[in-house]
Structure 1
């Protein structure tokens, strides 16, 4: 047995219990039933006296092998209801034993930067920060249920059996934007942050999270800034922002890759940042975007590749960027809402969202809806053109629906033909050659006026009188417009897509 340092009675209990990993309880502590983040952590730990106090240097000595152990046992530091005084500082060391603290109060932040450790569990504890940048945990790190009044730093860390912050309450340092700063971390066996509360942002830039990322019931509070920065993050399996999830601040997932399902059905509010939900350039196999209320702020899915998109029209934000978005399947709404969906770009008309929607309908075997979408695209494009383009576009739209409604031309032709037939029957034109002209037929005469090439020969043999002459001219002009519109529309819809 190694020579023990000068120890208090409480420290002697821990020293003697270490070889067998026995739990040392220095004060009564029961895990509460509250689901509020951090509610079960002690609030009066700074008043606990020497009978419940352990120096951090004693814990560090045990973790680094100061105490000899016998074969056949699993030594570890296990404390409940203790106050840890001083700073637990192990930089670059190798920690061969587990550290388990439950219901403890730590006076100073923990620093394990660059260390190689076994499992570390600080559950329902109160501590002023945690720094584990570059650490390698051969097990998992759990801060579940704890109240942390300082930034948790885990950048470049690796966790073989998961990262657990379920029910954790973290408040960023006063001069920090980040409550959790964990860029480029690698986590196996799942990252669990359910029912947690973060005041300050979470930074997971370039993180690799295997076996899922879970934020059910979690609150991210960093208004006017980034609530979550997960740019270029990779998640194997599932990412869930569900079951009461709330974010005040931008959710930035630009360039993230999620091999399974991304679900967002909570509340996202960030009207005072450029984007409330930044999901451009992503790759997601299945996206459930069904927030509890319309997202407050701009949402972008620009240049993102989706397998299947599930959404609800009543929760689309007023400003939605879809330029470059591609998807294999859509689920959740009908065509009237979908056409409205692709018109919400804050920068104005973009043709690609219409083309993508029409292509989806064609793949789904619905040619009618595809044509309706193309018609909506041309109508939206018209608003961006000059006066001449808008006038000609309006004529094409009224005449044949840009070629996607050719029956309109037949309707106009029938109405004009009926008008001409009635008017010229009541006010017949005079015959240019009375002895050679056939009997006048108002129907045939009106038909000839409407056709660019006369079919019955009546137009050349009779001359309208008075005001009916203007009607005749109008029928000729309308006939040419209808013919031109039909040709232009047919050319458009028959052009290879």
Structure 2
């Protein structure tokens, strides 16, 4: 015959009452002492041996009521060992003191409720609970090199509730719940959690949460690592961190959401985040199916990578930083390289400060399907860029304020203010509040080096709006900036001179009217030279320009005013004549005549060039490329 299962002998009166209550499904109230007093009490009416709880759940004390083992105000002595227990009824310990460890590894329970209880450790890796895990108001202080609450790979079919909990772990994580799976919600509302380890005060890496995760009004501190480490977490609902106080330390960040997938929105409204040696939020490659709100947030950090990291993130809804205050003394305040925002990116009345060479707001390579609205944004840095928009793609309006970069964006002349912006390969559909002249000012005087694309993009936007005159002005400014900041690209010194002259005469092909005016001036000068030649004596009885010798006009006969002007024009025109040279011409046998001839040849060459440029400019054949 199999040996009988050993059971506890000599039950106290209180323990007998616990057994009887468990059979009837009622709660036993052992005392009404404060939980701290209860932890030191040895009154037999308050004490229940932890081994009895295991016996009850294993069925060694007979059949139990489905409402479970329910005890309030008890002092449990010894370790509560529920490891591998397969119970048919749940356990509720309310306002109990459990000074020694609770083991529930690989246990299966219908429910577990430890509301307002005092403990040192809850070790429950691979625990399976068919309903809820309730840890409301628990007090847990762990001084060992392990987690205060360990739920690694646990499966909770209902909700997990840490509301109002006070959890401290001096060496390990306060809550270690990597690979946790729950089909419902996870609450950390009004909790106070303190830890001192590199993994995270609350670690939820690769967890799967079927509902929302709420840290509202919580205070979470880790002196050596992240306060919340939720890399690769998958949650079906919202992530709520509003009005939380988060203090982390180290390069991993105060809050880590790297590679996470949030089925709802991320709410950081009113949060206060601090990290003295790393980023405040590291959400690189995060994907949220709804909005990202960081309104009235306060962030202080020291990270070369940046304070609020969203590199490669994907935000399906609105992203809003309103009244935010973000300070990073080593790097960007906001770093969102190659992120994707499928709605509006809204930064309103925010104050951001950054250090290092990168932009205070780094949006390089970002794609924004909605508008980019930066209204009332104040960005400060002791060096580097204020905003980096390199290779960003904006499918709608760019609502930026020029004063973000320059206090005098309407000035026409050179600007020596220190604000810098990067716009190379930034594309956008239209400008919002900023005028094209202000945008042009930023391109010319507040980018680090000459780049053609920002000019071409602005010109394309103005041309699409029907403002061709503005577009020509922008493209002329581009060539002037090329000559000012990158003259080597034009070639040697003569080539640079030709470029400058071409700008003056024809506006680099964008002002054909100037060429027409120059052509008129050249022909006028040619006609004037013809008239002057008719006033210069070359030898007795002869002029530099005189009538052609005929029987009716002997040698030395002066030409009329009209004939002299016509002579100059005929000499200057490259094609076509007035026919007046057949009656009046230069006397090329004299030095004066030869001099006037050479001068008019020079004008003729200029007229040829001007006429050619005017035609080519009008047809757009030789406008300077970008």
Of 182, 197, 202, which residue of structure 2 is paired with 1:137? 182
Distance (Å, rounded) in 1 between the aligned partners of 2:23 and 2:597: 113
Unaligned runs of 5+ in 2: 1-6, 42-72, 92-109, 143-147, 169-173, 196-200, 380-384, 400-432, 537-542, 549-558
Give the whole-Å Cα distance in 2 for the aligned partners of 1:358 and 1:326: 17
Q: Deviations over 1:206-254 (max 9, x none)?
A: 1111122122222332256322222222111211222345454522212
Which residue number in structure 2 is paired with residue 435 of structure 1? 547
Residue 89 of structure 2 aligns with which residue?
Answer: 68
Q: Could you say which residue in structure 2 is the equivalent of 1:163? A: 213
Contact 1:77 1:99 in 2 (8 A): yes
User: 1:441–1:373: structure 2 CA closer, same or farther, 3 Å change rule?
Assistant: same
Q: 1:196 aligns with which of 244, 249, 253?
A: 244
Q: Does 1:323 find its partner at 2:425?
A: no
How far apart, CA to CA, are the structure 2 residues paired with 1:350 and 1:441?
A: 54
Q: TM-score, normalised by structure 1?
A: 0.73
CA distance in 2, matches of 1:442, 1:227: 84
Q: Is the 8 A contact 2:31 2:74 kept in 1?
A: no
Question: 1:233: which partner in 2?
Answer: 286
Shift of 1:127: 1.5
Distance 1:399 1:219, change over 3 A: farther
Note the alpha carbon deviations across 1:333-373, whole angstroms, 9 max, x for none.
23234335556887633444444444455555555555555
8 Å CA contact retained: 1:324, 1:352: no
Q: Deviations over 1:65-124 (max 9, x none)?
A: 657359xxx8541514x4x22111111221223223334322132111111113111123
On the 8 A contact 2:242/2:267 being kept in 1, the answer is yes
What is the rounded CA distance, in whole Å, between the counterparts of 1:287 and 1:21 in structure 2? Answer: 54
Instruction: Check 1:363–1:479 CA distance in 2 against 1; reply closer, same or farther (3 A cut).
Output: same
What are the within-5 Å matches in structure 2 for residues 68-217 of structure 1?
68=89, 75-77=111-113, 79-80=115-116, 82=117, 84-108=118-142, 109-117=148-156, 118-128=158-168, 129-150=174-195, 151-174=201-224, 176=225, 178-200=226-248, 201=253, 202-217=255-270
User: Any idea what the Cα deviations from partners look like across 1:248-285, whole Å, max 9, x if unmatched?
Assistant: 45222121122222223323332512x33222222222
What SS is found at the alignment partner of 2:440? helix
The alpha-carbon deviation at position 156 of structure 1 amounts to 0.6
Contact 1:59 1:88 in 2 (8 A): no
Larger radius of gyration: 2
Question: What does residue 31 of structure 1 align with?
Answer: none
Q: Deviations over 1:21-45 (max 9, x none)?
A: 99999789xxxxxxxxxxxxxxxx9
Q: CA RMSD in A?
A: 5.1
| Residue aligning to 2:487 | 385
Distance 1:22 1:452 in 2: 116
Q: Is the 8 A contact 1:288 1:309 kept in 2?
A: yes
Aligned pair 1:270/2:337, yes or no?
A: no
3-state secondary structure, aligned to 2:561: coil
The alpha carbon displacement at 1:423 in A equals 11
In 1, Cα distance between the equivalents of 2:534 and 2:78?
Answer: 114
Distance 2:258 2:344 in 1: 21
Cα distance change, pair 375–148 in 1 and its aligned pair in 2 (3 A)? farther
Aligned pairs for 1:207-356 (under 5 A) are: 207-223=260-276, 225-246=278-299, 248=301, 249-265=306-322, 266-273=324-331, 275-293=332-350, 295-297=352-354, 298=359, 299-312=361-374, 315=377, 317=379, 318-332=385-399, 333=433, 334-340=435-441, 348-356=449-457
Using the TM superposition, name which of 234-243 and 52-61 deviates more. 52-61
- Higher deviation after alignment, 57-66 or 97-106: 57-66
Is 1:402 the equivalent of 2:508? yes
Matches of 1:147 and 1:64, distance apart in 2? 31
Larger relative CO (CA 8 A, sep 6+): 1 or 2? 1
Give the Cα–Cα distance (whole angstroms) in 1 for the partners of residues 441 and 563 of structure 2.
Answer: 49
How many residues align? The count is 467
Aligned counterparts of 1:394 and 1:410: Cα–Cα separation in 2: 18
